[in-house]
Structure 1
Amino acid sequence: MDGLAEFEECGRLWVRGAVPAADLDQLATAIPSDGRPGIRPDTGLPAFRYFSGHDPVGALARRLGLSPHPVRFVAFQKDETANWSVPWHQDRVVAVADRHESPGWSAWLPKGAYWHAEPPEALLERMIFIRLHIDAADETNGCLQLALGSHREGRVPADAASDIAARYPVEHCRAAPGDLLAVKALTLHRSAPSVSGAPRRALRIDYADRAMLPAPMSWALQPAAMSG
């Protein structure tokens, strides 16, 4: 099975060793150290100029048929002072510049200067996130776990996520620094707490079909915002 066929079947694709160590040192400065899971980092930091659309992460997004310009960033830092777990779930929220009522959009919530909302399933089906591993990850420090193929279930209610995930093989996403993991947005995933205390830093970069937003909506994160 080639990479793209595997991605469609399993909902994930690995690219090992894609980002060199020198770049990881720069990108690590973009991860806040306040201990909160799922932090939205400041995309105005110099480190985010890395994501120009010509970087290895953007190249992977382009290979998977999407614009190489991100629509959202989330930073994760799990260690002995910041440890947590999350149950099986889907990430179904996008960040847009302003609130505009449109069919299929729901759960509007202002966050800082932008709005977060849950878009129609058709848009989510065309979204991926790419996880850029700053540190090594395995079962001992709470690596990501995926229910492979679960993206084919479509939108899953939160109270059914665990039962539905049990129908699919689970992959513990063991990674080395610099590895990239592309995941379809509707894939069920979870994370266990760390038992080792070893740091597990990662950046999650969301990509979408940027043209699918209904007018006059616009993505909160625009390519020019990271050009410096």
Structure 2
Amino acid sequence: MNYSTKINSEGFAIINNFYTENEIEKLISLIENKTENNSENSTFRKSQDLFAIRQFHKEIPETLNFIFNENLKQIIDSNFGKGFFITKSIYFDKPEKSNWFVAYHQDLTISVDKKIDIENFENWTVKQNQYAVQPPKEILENNFTIRIHIDKTTKDNGALKVINNSHSKGILRIENLDFENEVETICEIEKGGIMIMKPLLFHASNKTTNNERRRVIHIEFSKQQLPNGLEWSEKTILN
């Protein structure tokens, strides 16, 4: 299953029927069991428009055996190679009546363990003792993200929109994209499907209009050593 040509040229690939119904139901069960007992946890964020679990793979590590089945390990090895590890993960639950929308953007920051003055590491932030920074584009260009769809996702419940091949243009301000001459794709994905994407791909999502829930597990990967003793704060090496 080689999608590397499409990922490199378009910035993303969609693979439907990736997880079985049984695997998805097991993930849902593990997530629901955890969320019922952790409403005060600082990594759990809840509003009427969005429920999110940050550091998902650390908060619910029991899910990893189901997420990283032989299928996913093979996809990562055949499309990216060996040595990749998790650098960040978030679980998103967009409820049926959600008005949450996200404007076009690139994923420009990484989560790190501390703040150090390093050349070309910019725009530092800290939230709940979690440092984030924008690294040089070369680091972002070599990373990738996998999004696991727990629900069927369509244009009516906030499927991602992407600008094809926009990842190849480096770090850009959105106003510097020539929308008249760009190709936009709405990434509709079946329950149990995955989307692989590059961090610099411009992506957005609309409000939900069809009263259907949208749950996604978002996992970011790298195999790069950060400089000057800086470390990925959520780094988890895959077995």
Using the size of structure 1 for normalisation, the TM-score is 0.85
Q: SS at the partner of 2:31? A: coil
Structure 1 residue 53 displacement after superposition: 5.7
1:75 maps onto 2:76 in alignment = no
Partner Cα distance (1:54, 1:69) in 2:
15
Deviations 1:181-214 (A, max 9, x none): 1001100011011110101110111011333x11
Match of residue 10 from structure 2: 10
| Structure 2 runs not aligned, ≥5 long | 36-44
1:34 maps onto 2:46 in alignment = yes
Maintained 8 Å contact 1:52/1:69: no
Amino acid at match of 2:18: A
Deviations 1:70-120 (A, max 9, x none): 110122211234331111111111101122221110111123343111111
Query: Superposition pairs for residues 42-191 of structure 1, below 5 Å?
Result: 42=56, 43-50=58-65, 56-65=71-80, 67-158=83-174, 160=175, 163-191=177-205
Q: SS at the partner of 1:124? A: helix
Deviations 1:153-200 (A, max 9, x none): 110124x16x44553211111111111110011000110111101011
Q: When the two structures are aligned, how many residues end up with a matched partner?
A: 222
RMSD: 2.5
Match of residue 40 from structure 2: none
Deviates more, 1:46-55 or 1:143-152: 46-55
Identity, % of aligned positions: 20
Amino acid at match of 1:34: K
Partner Cα distance (1:106, 1:55) in 2:
37
Amino acid at match of 1:65: F
Amino acid at match of 1:217: L
The match for 2:220 among 206, 211, 223 is: 206
The match for 2:233 among 215, 220, 227 is: 220
Q: SS at the partner of 2:156? A: helix
Maintained 8 Å contact 1:58/1:68: no
Q: List structure 1 segments (4+ residues) > 6 angstroms apart after TM superposition.
A: none
Structure 1 residue 52 displacement after superposition: 7.9
Maintained 8 Å contact 2:148/2:194: yes
Partner Cα distance (2:90, 2:74) in 1:
19
Maintained 8 Å contact 2:159/2:187: yes
Amino acid at match of 2:118: S
Match of residue 22 from structure 1: 22
Using the size of structure 2 for normalisation, the TM-score is 0.82
Distance 1:62-1:193 versus aligned 2 partners, 3 A rule: same
